[in-house]
């Protein structure tokens, strides 16, 4: 008789967004006339920019001709895309990341969930709290975390780094030194980030303690302030203690198209073992490359036209962020984020729990957001709204929330 991976049974309940979807579906069934506005899940709403679509069409046509047809893509990504990423995202910013240190993938969710395969199960992981749930869940599935404490909504053997209004959402160095440190900056869900000096502190901490940082920069394109680094590799020494994950989902609207990449520097070694070689081996074995058409679309993101168009889209979303942030602030809410990220993080009013506030917004205002507690214990008492809606929906949502609130 076969057995199953019993680590799955340790996972508490379902994935956050399926819980939300179920509650919203039940509400809609009972109230079919309700005009529900969704500012919950972090999915984009604007269509993919014209120059990127044009590049995709061209690539589709190439696939229909014998001379330009492409079969299996190279496991690690086409040279044309790795070159342009290296140049635009790193070298132009004075960061020396070579094309062959860039591993093209189908997105940051897969990479951030799969990267833990490189590490032994005995490693202690640490996460900023609250954070994107994939880091914890993927480590639990791999058997890296043993005991869940339901009353505290946390795992006893994960080092949580609370990020709350009290510490300005800046994590403190843990006393118990972890082996693997996940940093998501700009942060999902709080929308906050670290300055370069603060991030350098984490790089120094990791280097001193023999830890590795998994740096998820999925929201890099939303950074607007000068002192905020765009890559962890801007910090001295990061190439020997960090891995960086990026996505085309939020900067170029590729959530349904699927493209991302991970940088594993050649300098990153555990003793004599190269993590770059390990990740290349893993890709070679388990991944057959992102599709040619999509990689051509990714290349077009970096063209002058593509850059202009995606900048306009980001500005559109950030205009929403401003409307949400300022509207809620005027109504007396404590509001964070929304400056370097498309997320607004707010303190729930009247000490409501995150889920109570979710129900209140859904039933009284017909607005869907995301309860902060779904991102970790320190998210309790907070709530996330996203700037990915339309201008019209965003304005309407804020007017509903702030009316008689």
> Cβ of residue 134: shortest distance to ligand PLP, in angstroms?
7
| Residue 34 C-beta: closest distance to ligand PLP, Å | 26
Q: How far is the CB of 312 from ligand PLP (least distance, A)?
A: 21
Shortest distance (Å) from residue 375 CB to ligand PLP: 10
Least distance CB 328 / ligand PLP (angstroms): 21
Tell me the HSE value of 311 on the side-chain side, using a 13 A CA sphere.
8
DSSP string for residues in 147-165: -EEGGGTEETTSEEEE--G
**Which DSSP letter does residue 363 get?**
I
Minimum gap (Å) between residue 184 Cβ and ligand PLP: 5
Rule CB under 6 A: which residues touch ligand PLP?
42, 107-109, 112, 132, 184, 188, 216, 218, 247, 249, 255, 260
- What SS3 state is found at 105? strand
Q: Which is nearer to ligand PLP, 20 or 207 (CB)?
A: 20
Please state, in angstroms and rounded to a whole number, the distance separating the CA atoms of residues 254 and 316.
16
Nearer Cβ to ligand PLP, position 42 or 306? 42
Residue nearer to ligand PLP on the CB measure, 283 or 365 = 283
CA–CA dist 136, 318 (Å, integer): 29
Q: What's the rounded Cα separation, in Å, for the pair 249 and 252?
A: 6
**Taking Cα atoms as reference points, which of 161, 145, 129 lies closest to residue 380?**
129
Query: Is the distance from CB of 225 to CB of 339 less than 8 angstroms?
Result: yes
CA distances from 164 to 84, 285, 336 (A): 38, 41, 10
Q: Are 61 and 53 in contact (CB under 8 A)?
A: no
Of 253 and 327, the one with the shorter C-beta distance to ligand PLP is 253
Distance CA 169, CA 66 (A): 55
Least Å distance, CB 6 to ligand PLP, is 27
Q: Report d(CA 401, CA 404) in Å as an integer.
A: 8
């Amino acid at each position: 008789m076969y057995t199953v991976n019993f680590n799955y049974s340790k996972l508490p309940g379902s994935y956050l967004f399926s819980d939300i979807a179920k509650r919203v579906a039940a509400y809609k069934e009972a109230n079919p006339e309700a005009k529900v506005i969704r500012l919950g899940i972090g999915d984009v709403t604007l269509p993919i920019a014209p120059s990127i679509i044009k590049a995709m069409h061209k690539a589709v046509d190439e696939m229909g001709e014998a001379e330009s047809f492409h079969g299996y893509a190279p496991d690690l990504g086409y040279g044309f895309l790795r070159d342009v990423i290296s140049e635009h995202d790193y070298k132009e910013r004075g960061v020396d990341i070579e094309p062959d240190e860039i591993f093209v993938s189908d997105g940051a969710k897969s990479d951030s969930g799969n990267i833990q395969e490189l590490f032994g199960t005995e490693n202690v992981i640490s996460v900023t709290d609250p954070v994107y749930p994939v880091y914890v869940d993927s480590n639990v599935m791999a058997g890296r975390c043993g005991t869940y404490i339901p009353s505290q909504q946390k795992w006893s053997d994960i080092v949580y780094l609370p990020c709350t209004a009290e510490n300005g959402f800046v994590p403190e160095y843990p006393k118990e030194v972890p082996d693997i440190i996940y940093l998501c900056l700009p942060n999902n869900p709080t929308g906050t980030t670290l300055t370069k000096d603060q991030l350098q502190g984490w790089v120094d901490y990791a280097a001193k303690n023999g830890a590795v940082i998994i740096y998820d920069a999925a929201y890099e394109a939303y950074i607007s302030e000068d002192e905020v680094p765009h890559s962890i590799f801007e910090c001295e020494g990061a190439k020997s203690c960090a891995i960086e994950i990026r996505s085309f989902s939020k900067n170029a609207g590729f959530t349904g198209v699927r493209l991302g990449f991970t940088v594993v520097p050649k300098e990153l070694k555990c003793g004599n073992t190269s993590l770059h070689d390990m990740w290349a081996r893993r890709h070679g074995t388990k991944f057959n490359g992102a599709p040619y058409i999509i990689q051509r679309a990714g290349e077009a993101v970096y063209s002058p036209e593509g850059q202009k168009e995606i900048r306009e889209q980001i500005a559109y979303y950030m205009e929403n962020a401003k409307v949400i942030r300022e509207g809620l602030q005027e109504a007396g809410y404590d509001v964070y984020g929304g400056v370097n990220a498309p997320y607004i993080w707010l303190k729930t009013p009247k000490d409501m729990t995150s889920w109570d506030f979710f129900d209140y917004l859904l039933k009284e205002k017909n607005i869907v957001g995301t309860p902060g507690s779904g991102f970790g214990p320190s998210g309790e008492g907070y709530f996330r709204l996203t700037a990915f809606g339309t201008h019209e929906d965003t304005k309407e949502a804020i007017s509903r929330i702030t009316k008689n609130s």
